[in-house]
Structure 1
Amino acid sequence: MPLLAMFRKFVPIAVLAALAAAALPAMAPSPAGAQQVERGPSGLPLPRFVSLKAGRVNMRVGPGTDYAVEWLYLREGLPMEVIQEYDSWRRVRDAEGAEGWIHSALLSGRRTGLVAPWLKDRQASVPLHARPDEGARRIAEVEPGALGQVESCDGTWCRMRFASLEGWMSQSLIWGVYPGETVED
C-alpha cells in the first residue's frame, strides 16, 4: 500500500484517538462521594427545596398566567421542591406529590420543613430533642404535618424551629430536606 493511501486511512483514526484521549479527563468519574449537580437556567441546583413567599399562591398547570390554576396554597412558608425551570416559572412538587408551575417571585430560598407528613393520618408524634442524639432529652412532641423553620442540618439531624421552640429532629422525618443533605445556618 502506498504511503499516501496508508496516511489517509490511519489519520482519521489517529485524530479520533487523540480527541478521545483529550476528552478523557472531562469524562473521568468524579472523586468518591462527589455527585454531579444539575443546574437549571437560573444557575441554581435542580432539584432543590424552597418555600412559598406568600400566604396565597396559585399553582398552575403550565408556566404562565394563561394556564389554569390547579391548586391554591394558603400557607406562607410551605416547602416546595423545584424540579424544573422555564423562564421565571418553576415547576414544583408539594409534600403530597402534586406538581405544577409557580412564578419564581412567589418562592423564597428560606428553608422550611413539614414534619413527617406521611404520618399525618396516624396517631403519632415526632420528638424534638435538646441535642442531635436519640437519647437526648425531649423538648416537645411535634405533630406530623407541622411546619417548621429549618435552621441547619448535618446530614442526619436538623435543628428546627417551631414558633418559640427550637431543637433537633431526625432528618429522615422532615419533608423539605434531602437525605444526607447539609444545610448551613
Structure 2
Amino acid sequence: MKRAVWILSLLALSAFAAPARADEDKVPYWASIDTDVANLRVGPGNTYRIEWVYRRMHLPVKIIRREGAWRQIEDPAGDKGWMRDLLLSRQRAAIVTGDDLVEMHAEASDSSPMLWRVEPGVVGLLGDCDAGWCAFDTDGHKGFVREDALWGAGEP
C-alpha cells in the first residue's frame, strides 16, 4: 500500500514538473556564456571543427536550436555555431550596441541622473526591462540603459 501511494505521489509531482520543462525547451531563447573560454563548433559534437573561441564571460547569445546536450547559438555579430550546454547559462546578459557612448542612468528615465557613459561592446548582466529601459550591471556598475541600445534584451 505504501508503495502505491509513493508511486502515485511521484506521478502527481511529475505532472506538475512537465509544463515547466516544456517551457525550457522552447527556442529561441536568450542565454549567456558561463565560462572564461568557450568553443563554438561547426556541428553538434566534440568531433566537429572549432570555428570560434570565445573569451568573454557573460556574452549574450541567442539559442536557436537544441540537439541533445548541444545548442546552436547566434552571437551578437550574427555568427552561428554549436556549443555545449554546460558552457551556457540562462542568466540574462546584454551587450551595448551602436557606435556612440550610451548613458547609464540612476533610474529608468532620461531625467534621472546619469551615472556613467558606456562604450559599445561592453557586456553586463541584464535585469528587468520595462517601458524601454533595462536594469544593467557591468562589473558592479549598476544602473538603467535604454533597451534599444542593448543586444540580448527583449524577445529573442
Shift of 1:166: 0.9
Alignment of 1:1-185 (within 5 A): 43-116=24-97, 119=98, 122=99, 124-154=100-130, 156-178=132-154
How does the TM-score come out when normalised to structure 2? Answer: 0.81
What is the count of residue pairs matched by the alignment? 136
> Could you tell me how far apart the structure 1 residues matched to 2:68 and 2:52 are?
21
TM-score w.r.t. the length of structure 1 is: 0.69
SS of 1:54's partner is coil
| Identity over aligned pairs, percent | 31
Q: Deviations over 1:72-101 (max 9, x none)?
A: 111111111000001110000000000000
Q: Return the offset for 1:131.
A: 1.1
Aligned residue type for 1:63: P
> Quick one: which amino acid aligns to residue 51 of structure 1?
S
* Deviation beyond 4 Å, 4+ runs, structure 1: none
RMSD between superposed Cα atoms in Å:
1.9
Indicate the structure (1 or 2) with the bigger Cα radius of gyration: 1
Cα distance change on mapping 1:88 and 1:141 into 2, 3 Å = same
| Corresponding position of 1:18 | none
> Does the C-alpha gap of structure 1 residues 41 and 155 become closer, same or farther in structure 2, counting only changes over 3 Å?
same
Q: Return the alpha-carbon distance in structure 2 between the equivalents of residues 71 and 91 of structure 1.
A: 13
AA at the equivalent of 2:61: M
**Higher RCO by CA contacts (8 Å cutoff, separation 6 or greater):** 2
Gaps of 5+ in 1: 1-39
Q: Distance in 1 between matches of 2:129 and 2:104?
A: 14
